[in-house]
Amino acid sequence: MKCSVAFSLFALASAEIAVATILTGTSVTTSLSSFNLTKGAACACGRLSRTYDGIISPNSANYTVQAADAYWDVRADLSPACIFLPSTADEVSKALEIFQSCDAHFAVRGGGHMNYPGSNNIDGGVLLALEKFKDIKVKKGSVEVGPGLVWYDIYKALEPYGRAAIGGRLKTIGVPGLSLIGGFHYFNNKYGYAMDNVVGYDIVLGNGTQITVNKKSHPDLFWALKGGANNYGIVTKFTLKTYDIPKVSTTIQVFNESGIPDFLAAVCNAAKLDEKDPIAAGMVATVQYNATTKVATASLLGVQEGISQPPSQFANFSAIPSITQINNVTTMRQWASSLDTPKQMFRVMFSHKTMKPDHDALVSIYKAWKEAVDQIADVEGLYPTFVTNVASAGAARVALTNGVGNVWGLEAEPYILWQFSTGWALAQDDLRIEAWSRQLAERLHAINVEKGIASPFIYMGDAGEWQDPFAGFPAENVARMRTIKSSYDPLGVFSRLNWGGFKLSL
């Protein structure tokens, strides 16, 4: 039986569960795609609509805004059976109780960080969107923030106080996604990752229970949330450390292809830097390649705490002849304001591996990637980028010395996370791009394994959906995470009903 968009889902879902059973399998067409109505979705959407105003159904005027426009990767545009926007932790708790009793599948979206399909959206299930959780409360040395915020909101709120938090490097990166998977920031080398700077979580567990988690309250879960992703509950408030950083020094540098080997050498040197009294500094270092014109360029976005013009920590880059070099002294808010996520511009596939800093090996990976891009040059809308992220010894040392740690369990050693970020236009090329990206990453990683410079570590924020980040964690950490999950989510709500994102194996 075919059901048009105009046919309200809630004309079906508001019926009793017995009626919903009869309607199981009904095809519902949305402005984006279609899905088959399930008993669980009909039950949950019906109960939510009878309990709360403003439940968004497929025929609602703002359905596309919530189901597609809120995401930056076109592949994440899915068709939920209904969308619930709670405004309190009690409402989140009630929703989880409904999901359990209806056996309804659901997804959770905070500020919008993860990009791959299903990580924070869902076809045919319930989307619980936390966009109304936007409270910010600045305190002495900390800030309380809601999961509906993006990092620009935090930098903006802290600017009048001359403070900064350790969060996302782009304007519209979501707060909860980054904080729960680890979190690369410019200042990791001194202050650790975003997860290391969360001092408290308010979380709703799978059974609807609300608890506050910190170093003294539920310390086992406090540890597991530091890199454990969306396996334990829904965080409704984060309490973050802040630092006295009223000004930052920034640099934007662009290099032509002849400078790329030296550029990658500077990346390796940055990874190896491990000073006793470090200056907080970090970067986004990428190489772009146009498969049509055969032109490659490299770019550096560098940020350093304090006033230094030019920023002293990027001297190795500044010494390379460049096309562009712009140095400035500004604030985190002003810097982040111009670095937006490319929302709804293309489909995106990530693939990433980790290695010890090795200039020759990194240049070989770059050259192999560029040659491989030529093999898919016919893909419409192709936008390939080679990304390098630095994981310094100092960044790992924070977790090793703060009395808490994190689930990554990295030793205080330098690493480079290399990544293929590939954009394209058409769904018909999805499988081709994934296969190409995966095979290339695996082949080059295998070479590094033979050289003894590879690490099994996989960062969720740079990983493709085909990758298993938990396989790169210490085995004892994964075992401990599973034990904690069993304790706090004994019904398996965040694996059985909430299946998106990187999940611990059962």
Say what the pTM is.
0.94
CB atoms within 10 A of CB 148: 23
With vertex at residue 204, the alpha carbon angle to CA 131 and CA 500, rounded to the nearest 5 degrees, is 65
Q: Cβ distance 135 to 239 under 8 Å? A: no
The pLDDT tens digits for 452-463 are 999 999 999 999
The pLDDT tens digits for 456-496 are 999 999 999 999 999 999 999 999 999 999 999 999 999 99
Residue spans of the domains in the chain: they are 2-129, 136-244+475-497, 248-469
Mean confidence (pLDDT) of the chain: 93
Burial of 427 (0-12, 13-18, 19+ CB in 10 A): exposed
3-state secondary structure of 124: coil
**In the block, residue with structure tokens 């409360």:** 137
The pLDDT tens digits for 258-285 are 999 999 999 999 999 999 999 999 999 9
- Cα→Cα distances 185→250, 282, 302, 332, 429, Å: 14, 7, 11, 11, 32
Q: Quick one: pLDDT at residue 392?
A: 97
User: CB-based contacts of 297: which residues, under 8 Å, 6+ apart?
Assistant: 254, 255, 256, 257, 287, 288, 323
pLDDT band, residue 385 (cuts 50/70/90)? very high
Q: Quick one: pLDDT at residue 23?
A: 64
Look at residues 309, 286, 313, 272 and name the one whose alpha carbon lies nearest to residue 187: 313
- For 248-469, the fitting CATH number among 3.90.330.10, 3.40.462.20, 3.40.50.300, 1.10.240.10 is 3.40.462.20
CB atoms within 10 A of CB 141: 12
Burial of 79 (0-12, 13-18, 19+ CB in 10 A): buried
Reply yes or no on whether the pLDDT at 340 is more than 90.
Answer: no
**CATH for 136-244+475-497?**
3.30.465.10
pLDDT over 70, % of the chain: 95
Reply yes or no on whether the pLDDT at 74 is more than 60.
Answer: yes
| Average pLDDT estimate for 124-132 | 97
- For 2-129, the fitting CATH number among 3.30.70.3270, 3.20.20.70, 1.10.1660.10, 3.30.43.10 is 3.30.43.10
Q: In what order do the strands lie in the sheet with 198-204?
A: 136-139, 142-145, 234-241, 198-204, 210-213
pLDDT band, residue 19 (cuts 50/70/90)? very low
